Structure 1
Amino acid sequence: MSESEPRNIVEKTIRSLYGFFDNPATFVKETIVKPNQQSYPWYHQRFRRVPTIDQCYSDDPVCFFEADMQYRRDRLVDNEILSILRQRFEDCVMYEAPDHVENCKTILDQYIEGTTNWFTKYGDLGAYHNVRTAYMKQKHRMAWERRHGPVGLGMREKK
């Protein structure tokens, strides 16, 4: 509010009511909250890394829950990374309009590699999946590659 004198009794009453509620809150904020608050050099919440699903005991539901929450946060971060790569490619195509095939090739290669990696980790899991299904997908993929070679190259011939 402005520091000028109130013009009438209504404005004076409103200012006194405002001060009645605002002054204690401002006092608490400036003397207690701000001095005890930690300032961080980042703009998002940082979570500690928790054990992955393969490090949890089979009878530890708390560890499963923490691993699942870590997996969900990692998936959100990977989705955002992919979104940023897609946006960079689209911006490059718009900026380099007729020559975008040559000028945006490196960005397109990064985006294709990112989508391939994303699909390797999260693809074909369905809408309602968790860390356990993703771990089973990884385990089955490793077993396949041990028996038949890398996925996508076909099966090895039997000797």
Structure 2
Amino acid sequence: MPEPRSPMASFAQSVSNIIDGPITWFRETIVEPNQEKYNWYHQRFQRVPTIDQCYTDDAVCRFEADQQFRRDRMVDNEIVNILRQRFEDCTLYEAPDHIIKCKPILEQYEKATENWFIKYGDLGGYANAKTAYMKQKHRLIWERRHGPVGSGMKGEK
């Protein structure tokens, strides 16, 4: 830091050192050496219990399950976006023969999109873990009664 040019700047710097000095010392000598250094660029969250493992009156568990659901949804959104981008890049690069050469990427993208819609489709923007769990439950009940979704209803015997 350069030397202060006036007595007022010197005073201001000394006050700043008095206030900021202990904070900087604490961070550099105690906090930073004890932090875990990650080999990846994003924060890693521990998995928490899902909504079906929470008690109905446990607000903290339900909140954590909702946060986990939102993180999982963002990750799944990004996976689908990356697959779509890969397919679009392949289509542009392999221009005349893209139908044949990009077919595996397209199938992977369509399967990921189908899985995303099975889990998150028709939930809306304000969905939480409970609504997704109820959707899954209703789908399982439907499949038990009528067969896989999209195959038509079983005939009455």
TM-score by length of 2: 0.83
From 120, 123, 126, the equivalent of 2:124 is: 126
Partner of 1:94: 92
Code of the residue aligned with 2:107 in structure 1: it is D
1:9-158 correspondence to structure 2 within 5 Å: 24=21, 30-158=28-156
Residues 1:53 and 1:26: Cα distance change in structure 2 (over 3 Å): closer
Superposition misfits of 4+ residues, deviation over 2 angstroms: 23-37
Percent sequence identity over aligned pairs? 66
Code of the residue aligned with 2:35 in structure 1: it is Q
Between 111-120 and 31-40, report the one with greater CA deviation: 31-40
Give the length in aligned residue pairs: 149
Q: Distance in 1 between matches of 2:33 and 2:133?
A: 44
Residues 1:64 and 1:33: Cα distance change in structure 2 (over 3 Å): closer
TM-score by length of 1: 0.82
Structure 2: tracts of 5 or more residues without a match:
none
Structure 1: tracts of 5 or more residues without a match:
none
**Please, what is the CA RMSD of the aligned residues?**
2.4
Residues 1:32 and 1:59: Cα distance change in structure 2 (over 3 Å): closer
